[in-house]
Each structure stands twice: as C-alpha cells, then as structure tokens.
Amino acid sequence: MPDDKLPSLEAYTQGLPYNLEAEQSVLGCVLLDPEKLPDIMEKIASPEVFYNEQHKKLYALMIRMFSESRPIDYITLLEKARSEEIFDNDATAKSYLLHLMELVPTTSNLSNYCDIVLEKYYMRNLLSAATEIESSVRQGEGSASELLDAAEQKIYDIRQGRQSSELRPISEVIIGVYDNIYEMNQKDDTRITGLASGFTQLDLILSGLNRSDLILVAARPGMGKSAFALNIAANVGIKHPDMDVAIFSLEMSNPQLVSRMLCSDALIPSDKMRTGRLEKEEWSKLAVSAQRLAGTHIWLDDTAGISVPQMKAKVRRLKNLGLIIIDYLQLMTSSTRIENRVQEISQMTRGLKIMAKELDVPVICLSQLSRAAEQRQGHRPMLSDLRESGSIEQDADSVLFLFREEYYADNEERDGADDATRNTAICIVAKNRHGSTGDVMIGWQGEYTRFSNLEMSREAPPPFG
C-alpha cells in the first residue's frame, strides 16, 4: 500500500484519535457489498466523520453515486476517483481500492467498524473543543462566566451530534399513540392533552401546555406579560404540588417575584404589599397564600443575562420537571459571541426549542414587541411586531400576544371607561401548531397584577387539587 495513504507522522505526534483500519474497512465493505451503504449512512451521516482526506473524498463520492442511483463497485468507483483526481495517479488509485477490499475481515462486523470510526471522530471533536477552550482561557477572551457558557455550548454541540433518531415501524409507534388516546379518554376534559395553564378557553385552543413546545408570550412593556407567566406558574404549581416548575427571571429579583405571586394569589393590592400596611383580614389571606405557594415545587432563579446552556444545566438537577418559564428573551445572552443581534436571538430561540424537546417539557418564554404596534391604528399586535423576529416565529410552536385597550387610553378615557373594558384583556393566539388561532378574553385585575378566567375575575382564587 502506498505510504502517502497512511496518516501523517504529524497526526500521530499531535495525538489525534484515529483508526486507519476501521476507516478502510468501512469503505471496503461498500466495495464488497454496495447494499451495505444505506446501513453505513444511518450511522455515518457525513464524510467529515472520517479523518483521512482520501477517505472523506471516497465516502462523499459513494454517497453522491448512491443518491444518483449509480452502481458502486471497484470499476465505477475507480473511474469516478480518476475524474475527480482523488489520488495522485492511476496506479495508486487501483492499488488502494484493491487494498480496501482485501483488508476487510468480514462485512458482518460492519456495524462495529462504524462505531469505532464514530468513536474516534467524537474524541477528536472533544480534543478540538478542549484546545479551543484552553486557548480562549489563556488569551482572556471574556469573563469566566462567558467562557464557561462557551465551553458548555461546545460540549453540548458535540453531544447533539451523537443524538439521532432511527426509522421506526408505524406498528411500534401506534401502540404508544393508542395508549395516549386511552389515557386522555380517562380525563375529565379530553380536549386538553398538556398541562392546564389555568386559563380555560386558552387551554381549549392550545390543548394545554404541551410537552416539548416552545410557547412565546409577547407584549409591549407594562401590558402584564410577567404577571401572566407568574399566574400560569402558580396555577400549575398549586394544581401539581409534586411537579417542578422553574422560573428564570432576568428582570426581577426573587423577592420581587414572590411578592407579585403572593399579591396575585391573596388578592391584596400591590401598593399595600409594597408598604406592608395590611389590614387584619389581609394578613390572614396573605398567610394562607404563603402557605399554599410554599407547598409547591416552584423554583426561582434571578441570574442576570443567563444563557440557554446555563438554564439547561440547572434544570437537569430537578427530578420531576414539568414547566420552564423565562422572563424574558431579549435579556438573555448567547453562549457564543455573535456580533449580529438577529443571529444571536435566532441561536437562542433555536436553543430554547431544542431544550424543550430534549427535556420533554413546555417552555414559556416572554418577549418584547417592537414599537410598530404603537403607530398602528387600533394598536393590535401582530407577528411582524416581534423584536429581532428572524427565527422567533419559526422556532415557537405557539405565539401569544397580550393586549389591553385600556393601556392605550389617556387618563380621561380611563376614568370614563366601563368595568368591562378596564378589567378585561385579550390573549391573541397568533400561532398554534396544534390547532386554530383566535382571541381569548381573560380577566385583568391590575391592582393585584392578576389575570384570570373572565367569569371569576372578581372572585377569590379557586380551590386547587
């Protein structure tokens, strides 16, 4: 076999993980039995998995011939290799392709050969990531927190590359679907397949908060999106006391979050909560609400500028994770340095969707809207109002807008507004992968920072459990 086909001495001295014989055996199996190529492609999706440059080119050539329905054997591959000048000369090409076929002990061990090639590929990626991390640290390319985020993202990207789904027969999948339908039939309301948010009409449209969904809640500042998310968190946490609900607040501190949740649950005006001037009856209501919320598994994190990898690292410690809430998208930071803000937001929304799918829980992420709605007659928000909207709409499974007409009224109009206008809000379902879109009317009690089902907007919180 020609020496120029062996890995260079430099590769060995660098200590890069590599198995020449395994790579040669994988390619040799294709020449001996071309029908094995689809099996190989299921495991080795890209030519970049090979280390040797000739092997990369040969495998890419095999994939292209397969895609074009061209026969693959010693003669046809030799002819293609000649035309693409993969080898230095014709004699080298002939001898090396023959060597690939002679080297293979048996095609029955093909799966093991592929595993070895993949293992070495991931080891090289890990070594490369470690080298980049070391270089970034030595050169001081950011704070320790930023470097940790970047390091975690590199490892996460490698791990993602290892995860691939296989084709499954419908007979296998249908059993799980049938069982799921049967379980839903046992529920009180079979129209809700996910977690109940506590907002009845919204749950009917969305079918609840579904696993692996990224749900975007967007509004202009002051419209109540944080209150809406906290209301959902309390509803889920109280209804399911053993379920972990994680809230990441990039704007408010943990004490501020808890104060809002107590105010909403106990129906105590927010100004009284801030001053502590409560009446005797209100102290009793506050004690009941405090006990009720303390009995939940709601977890709070007020880390400023948190990234998706950081979030994922934290929620992985929770044993029975059921819901993640993030307040809000534009205050998050990317784990890698990206100059373009639109691309940075795009990376984060994609990361959030992957996180929702990987953890198999709904993720509710709040987002700001641009000022476009302010200039529009009626001020009703639409999908194009999403700030840095490049991929937000694409990645989200559901997009909800909160809209209150009273927000845009001047003082005189507010004073003259009737209770129906003042105490109602619209939750606009602008996108819904699970069904229809439309408007949901909900109650709004600004003094308690509380949204509720319209029919109970002026009542005490309903019993849970």
C-beta neighbour count of 47 within 10 angstroms: 16
Contact 154, 132 (CB under 8 A): yes
Name which of 229, 174, 206, 261 is nearest 365 in CA terms.
229
For the beta sheet containing 297-301, the strands, ordered from the edge strand earlier in sequence to the opposite edge, are 297-301, 244-249, 321-327, 363-368, 214-219, 398-403, 424-432, 438-445, 450-453
Burial 53-84, CB ≥16 within 10 A → b, else e: ebbbbbbbbbbebbeeeeebeeeebbebbeee
Contact 452, 231 (CB under 8 A): yes
Catalytic annotation, pick one of 48, 79, 251, 339: 251
Alpha helices in 186-307, H assignment, sequence order: 200-206, 225-239, 254-266, 270-275, 280-294
Strand partners, 399: 216, 431
Dist. CA 92–CA 439, nearest whole Å: 70
Dist. CA 344–CA 335, nearest whole Å: 9
Name which of 429, 432, 427, 431 is nearest 442 in CA terms.
427
Going from the C-alpha of 18 to that of each of 14, 23, 129, 209, the distances in angstroms are 11, 9, 16, 46
The token pair that represents 426 in the structure block: 């619209």
Could you give the 3-state DSSP secondary structure of residue 323? strand
Contact 249, 224 (CB under 8 A): no
Contact 414, 422 (CB under 8 A): yes
In single-letter form, the type of residue at position 439 comes to: D
Contact 73, 34 (CB under 8 A): yes
For residue 251, indicate whether it is catalytic: yes
Distant-in-sequence, close-in-space partners of 198: CB < 8 Å, separation ≥ 6: 231, 232, 234, 235, 236, 239, 453
In single-letter form, the type of residue at position 160 comes to: Q
In single-letter form, the type of residue at position 172 comes to: E
HSE (CB half, 13 Å, CA atoms) of 451?
A: 27
Q: Catalytic site residues?
A: 251
